[in-house]
Amino acid sequence: MPTSVPVESYASFLNTRAARRKPSPIRALQAVLATAPAGLISLGGGMPNPALFPFSGISVTLRDGTVLSLSEESVRAALQYSPTPGIPELVSRLERVQRGEHSPPGAAGDRMAVMVGTGSQDLLAKAFDTFLDEETPVVIEAPTYSGTLAALEPIGCPLITIPSSTDGTGIDVGAVEELAAAFESGERAGPRPRLIYVIPTAGNPTGATMPLENRRRLYAAARRLGSLIIEDDPYRFLDFGEVVDPADADADAAAAAARSSTPVARTPSLLSMDEDGRVLRFDSFSKLLSAGLRIGTVTGPKELVDALGLHAQASCLHTSGVSQALVLELFRHWGVGDKTPPAEDGSARCMGDMEAHIAEVASFYRSQRDACIEAINKHLRDPGLAELYAVPSGGMFAWIKVPGLADTTALVKERAAAAGVLFVPGSAFVPGGGSAHSAFVRASFSVASHEQLDESIPPLRERDSRLGSD
């Protein structure tokens, strides 16, 4: 990779609204209160009196029967206003986890900060609203996550769409490199993209994972463009490891048990190679712990994380204290973030017993993936019936092309729905619902049983002229 080109100032990345935001003096007091001695008398913020809260205790039962009960102090903190970045101990543990998992190099690692948000979707929306306006382009893969499009399109920013690669490895990095070359040569004029948005692991909807070399090339292209990278990685812990053809997979129970307890060698993140301080990383606990808890994180240069914090100060104040307290208590139980990396045993990761949970979750979804692919091979093996973009290497989704159809919307809403099966049409994952990927459907294999997955694929065979054939 070329010599580091550190980002010296982030002022040029903020839009006009973000540049106008100022810290809330009242919110600043929360950080003081969170670490103040017990005897401090506060006549500052307008905090409700905790003696009047109807709740006196919070306990949860884990799947193994373990009961976690919050202490009186933790309950009080959970039910009261808390600092915008998150409950301090939770943030500290998350910082240790991120340093152990990603180890950003050099000065970029020194200036790294973490903030808790109400799911990564909320943090992503805040980021787009902080950095973009109608004049600032953003690079996105087409197809991409529909929730990202829902956040971007109302802003009105120019969308520079880059197709998925033809080899099933996610965004076409060569096309991003060509974009950088076009700007460098003057062939392309106008504002350069301020952001490059990418889902590097088990992309939604494609299920594709970017190889390490592609990640390095994308980072180098971002450096040439002078862009920030938005690394949206909610499926990192649903990484199956080496992709194996399900037809050749060892079905032996012992092998399956080994997969369920062995940590996967996850592909290094873009944050892990961020020498310049140009990566903002978004993580989610929705797929790993609970979607309803609404806990996500943003990690990156402190100046950028603080800018998102100012947005939160003026909107939600902070993420649910109860959700944060439950996750914190679980982390204490599992030992997540107990150690400062590297640990005494030389390991960098600070996941504690959560690593076993991660392995179990990834093993389950791999089994679901295998059942989905088996059903596709069984029912759509005849040439021309369907084409799989890639064998999903993680996550929850299969991206299936239905040849002969210009648009799968009618197939999804009429024929498949009538058969009691729900897919998402490909048009949901392209800007403006365009036609580029309308011949695809996204199939989520996360919840259906193996038997239901087998029953769900045959409706994709059923199509006629009424369903938008070419």
**Looking at residue 276, which CATH number applies to its domain?**
3.40.640.10
In a domain, 3, yes or no: no
Q: pLDDT (tens digit, 9 = 90+) per residue, 42-97?
A: 777 788 998 999 999 999 999 999 999 999 989 998 999 999 999 999 999 999 99
Task: Give the pLDDT score at 437.
Answer: 76
| Residue ranges in the chain whose pLDDT is less than 70 | 1-3, 27, 31, 242-264, 342-348, 383, 433-434, 462-470
Question: Are both 438 and 343 inside the same structural domain?
Answer: no
Question: Are both 225 and 321 inside the same structural domain?
Answer: yes
Task: Give the pLDDT score at 383.
Answer: 65
Overall size of the chain counted in residues: 470
Question: Are both 396 and 305 inside the same structural domain?
Answer: no
Q: Are 321 and 79 in contact (CB under 8 A)?
A: yes
In whole angstroms, give the CA distance from residue 273 to residue 158. Answer: 28
Task: Give the pLDDT score at 463.
Answer: 57
In a domain, 45, yes or no: no
* Domains: count for the chain: 2
Task: Give the pLDDT score at 404.
Answer: 82
Question: Are both 367 and 339 inside the same structural domain?
Answer: no
pTM above 0.75, yes or no: yes
Question: Are both 237 and 253 inside the same structural domain?
Answer: yes
Task: Give the pLDDT score at 258.
Answer: 44
Question: Are both 327 and 399 inside the same structural domain?
Answer: no
Task: Give the pLDDT score at 465.
Answer: 39
The CATH number that applies at residue 400 is 3.90.1150.10
Domain coverage including residue 406: 362-467
Task: Give the pLDDT score at 3.
Answer: 67
